[in-house]
Amino acid sequence: MKESLRTGLSFGLTSGIITTLGLMVGLNSSTHSRIAVLGGILTIAVADALSDALGIHISEESENQHTHKEIWESTFATFITKFLFALTFAVPILLFTLTTAVIISVIWGLTMLGILSFQLARLQKVTPWKVITEHLTIAITVIVVTYGVGILLSDLINF
With beta carbons less than 8 A apart as the criterion, state whether 49 and 82 touch.
yes
pLDDT score of 117:
97
pLDDT score of 158:
82
pLDDT score of 154:
92
Q: Which residues contact 29 (CB under 8 A, 6 or more apart)?
A: 146, 147, 148, 150, 151, 154
pLDDT score of 4:
84
Q: Is 159 helix (H, G, I), strand (E, B) or coil?
A: coil
Q: How far apart are CA 141 and CA 22, in angstroms?
A: 9
Nearest to 9 by CA among 115, 128, 111, 93: 115
pLDDT score of 114:
97
Q: How far apart are CA 41 and CA 136, in angstroms?
A: 21
pTM of the model: 0.91
Number of domains in the chain: 1
Low-confidence ranges of the chain (pLDDT < 50): none
Domain with 49, as residue range(s), is 3-157
pLDDT score of 106:
98
Nearest to 32 by CA among 104, 85, 87, 93: 93
pLDDT score of 159:
75
Torsion of CA 95, 93, 106, 15, to 10 degrees: 130
pLDDT score of 128:
96
